[in-house]
Chains A and B, each alone.
Chain A
Amino acid sequence: MSWAGPDDVYLSTSLASYLDKKLLVLLRDGRKLMGTLCSFDQFANAVLESACERVIVGDLYCDIPLGLYVIRGENVVLIGELDLEREELPPHMTHVSVAEIRNPCRFSDRTDLTFFRHRKQRGRQQISKVQ
């Protein structure tokens, strides 16, 4: 990624230290993906194993399993290493099912609004596929 001179070995900003770790990836559209990093490249393209999308609406949250995901680097905002010893979410948040999170009573900001429109479209596509 950078010119690593002999002094720069410990300065390296590569994602190598995150390999096989459980990560939180924030995307530009506001989505939060979680998964294990399988591989990456100089553009921050990433492959996540056992990926799931954590949808948060107010105090409700839900994890939607996605499987193996390849993320194009230009969409990546942040890749965070999840500390397994800490709680991933504040205790006041409650886990709900996928169906419940798609029909929330309240939402907090524009990002969530975009999510609902997107999810509604995907929901319709999934239903038609099943049928």
Chain B
Amino acid sequence: MFCHPNRLQRTKQSPFSPSLSLTSTRAKSSYALLHRQTKMLFFSYFKDLVGREVTVELKNDLAIRGTLHSVDQYLNIKLENTRVVDQEKYPHMLSVRNCFIRGSVVRYVQLPPDGVDIDLLHDATRREARGG
């Protein structure tokens, strides 16, 4: 589900209305205001991709394939079970199996084709464009 993991729990506990749809709308806007959801779209998206196999291409042309372990608000990425795409060109990376990649050096994150729920993504993008 493409949303903050705590959002649904928060709506259930809300004292204002028993209806899930009403509180979810209110929770959405209050969540956006309080927690600046407007800047967290990609962070949330990558959190949903944790556990998937991705290929991260860096600005220095190094491409690393691995399982997405975690991501943070700077879009720093931690990969596990890493393999460098062109291993011969990067012999020093031979024994590296887990790595931390600074967000500022990422050029692309290549995703599995079934890793994208297009409708959900469109929805979240429109919401973020509106300001939450």
Contact = CB atoms under 8 A, between A and B. Distances in A.
Interface string A77-102: 11111111011111001000000000
B94 A78 contact: no
Given A30-B60, A93-B91, A80 B77 contact: no
B95 A77 contact: no
B20 interface: no
Contacts of A54: 92
B96 A80 contact: yes
A55 to B, nearest CB: 10
Given A11-B50, A15-B100, A24-B93, A77 B5 contact: no
Interface residues of A, number: 40
Contact of A5 (B5, B58, B71, B104): B5
A28 B106 CA distance: 12
Q: How large is the interface on B (under 10, 10 to 19, 20 to 34, 35 or more residues)?
A: 35 or more
Contacts of A18: 100
B92 to A, nearest CB: 5
Contact of B72 (A1, A24, A87): A1
B97 interface: yes
Contacts of B77: 13
Interface string A8-45: 10111111001000001010101010000000000010
B1 to A, nearest CB: 13
Interface in A96-131: none
Contacts of B78: 13
Nearest to B97: A83
A51 to B, nearest CB: 15
B73 A3 contact: yes
